[in-house]
Amino acid sequence: MSDKVRVGLIGCGNIGAGGHAPAYLSVSGVELVAACDILPGRAEAVARLTGATAYQDYREVLARPDVDAVDLCLPTDQHASVAIEALRAGKHVLCEKPIARTLAEADAMIAAAREAGRVLMVGHVRRFDHRYTAIREALRAGEVGRPVYLRRAERQWLPFPADVWYWRPEAGGGVILDIGVHIADLFRWYLEDEPISVYAVGRQVRRAAREANSFDHALMTFHFRNGAIGVAEASWAYQPNYGGALYAELDVVGTAGKVHYSDRDTNPLLIYDAEEGAILPRYFRFMSTTEYAFQAEIGHFVECVRTGRSPSISPEDARAALEMALAAQRSAETGKPVAFSLEEAP
Ligand SMILES: NC(=O)c1ccc[n+]([C@@H]2O[C@H](COP(=O)([O-])OP(=O)(O)OC[C@H]3O[C@@H](n4cnc5c(N)ncnc54)[C@H](O)[C@@H]3O)[C@@H](O)[C@H]2O)c1
């Protein structure tokens, strides 16, 4: 390997061009040398920004011996096939969330990484975002006691027309898979525990969702082994004029206090003590941007490639988040709670 990790970005759409590509310009020890998209204009735009070479066929990127790693920002149903091909070609893989569309695909990716002896890291970007890492540090420090109740909302107006893959359940899994994996991973990460059951309700609000027979609004209740409950709302159907195109909220209620985060409040994050009330000011720690989170995520991946360290988010963590989201999807489809394989539902 040269002194820099050389990466090929595959998929230069929304998150590839907007989130990952600019981050490569400010992370040290890495160079984006290839940018690939089946739509040549998209690859060329990233190439102009970063100095990478543009490609239309990802196999040409995999064939380059000087490419150490690939960064997959592809539609969800293509994660597994391209990741496995890349791992077999000896490349390390950073893959956008969800790890894959199905558990069988996730298992095949994990096995391929093990056989190839290469890093497989899934981009659960919340784990690299100041706001959410700060909350995790507060929880680990016992600032609110033992977390017993989590309430999370991620609401947005999916800005894509009906013919985009996001709306097709077989490609993206609908809102429960796409946003649900973020929430599932956050719950497991904060609670440091495994779920035992989920009950979910899904709705088809927008015309695109009804036409695709896909949920674009969902409510989910996860029960954890330690007795904690996580309640979540995930939506692609919140009109921008309902209060912003992206809207995230979080409460973590513990035995000795509460963490509250909202990206709409003036003080976006407050930590409450059960006796003292709100503790201020705290938010100077939480003024992170998504841009920073992508830099931190890519920086961590590069460090793992260079040192052989295992990523702080393991592929098994990403699989567990997928399993939770798929179980929620099954619950919403059947109208019944779904128990995880570990134990019986309560
Ligand atoms: N971490 C996050 O917060 C976050 C946010 C958005 C999306 N994502 C995830 O990122 C992935 C991509 O989402 P997106 O919004 O960027 O989608 P997108 O449709 O905007 O981008 C995907 C790109 O891949 C290209 N593409 C498709 N097949 C290809 C192939 N075989 N070879 C090369 N290019 C190909 C498309 O032309 C498109 O430009 C999804 O899995 C999504 O869940 C994560």
CATH 3.40.50.10710 correct for 127-292+322-339: no
**More confidently predicted of 228 and 292:** 228
97 belongs to the catalytic site: yes
Q: Is the pLDDT of residue 346 over 50?
A: no
Q: Which helix (H) or strand (E) holds 320?
A: helix 315-334
User: What confidence tier does 300 reach under pLDDT thresholds 50, 70, 90?
Assistant: very high
Domain 5-123 has what CATH class?
alpha beta
pLDDT digits 0-9 by tens, 252-275: 999 999 999 887 665 556 667 777
Let me know if the fold of 5-123 is the same as that of 127-292+322-339.
Answer: no
Q: Are the CB atoms for 248 and 262 separated by under 8 Å? A: yes
Torsion region of 151: left, alpha or beta (phi above 0 gives left; psi -120 to 50 gives alpha):
beta
Which residue in this structure is represented by tokens 């539902």?
345
User: What confidence tier does 200 reach under pLDDT thresholds 50, 70, 90?
Assistant: very high
Nearest CA among 240, 225, 214, 243 for reference residue 187 = 225
Whole-model pTM: value is 0.93
Atom of ligand 1 minimally distant from the CA of 164: 19
DSSP 8-state assignment for residue 99 = S
Atom of ligand 1 minimally distant from the CA of 72: 11
Q: Are the CB atoms for 139 and 59 separated by under 8 Å? A: no
Distance CA 68, CA 85 (A): 14
Output the pLDDT for position 124: 96
Domain spans of the chain, in order of start:
5-123, 127-292+322-339
User: 4, 91, 97, 336: which one is catalytic?
Assistant: 97
Output the pLDDT for position 244: 54
Q: Which residues line ligand 1 (CB under 6 A)?
A: 10-16, 36-39, 42, 58, 73-76, 78, 96-97, 123, 125, 178
Q: Are the CB atoms for 46 and 40 separated by under 8 Å? A: no
Average pLDDT over residues 214-239: 95
Output the pLDDT for position 245: 55
Distance CA 280, CA 135 (A): 15
User: What confidence tier does 280 reach under pLDDT thresholds 50, 70, 90?
Assistant: very low
pLDDT digits 0-9 by tens, 64-75: 999 999 999 999
Nearest CA among 80, 87, 85 for reference residue 101 = 80
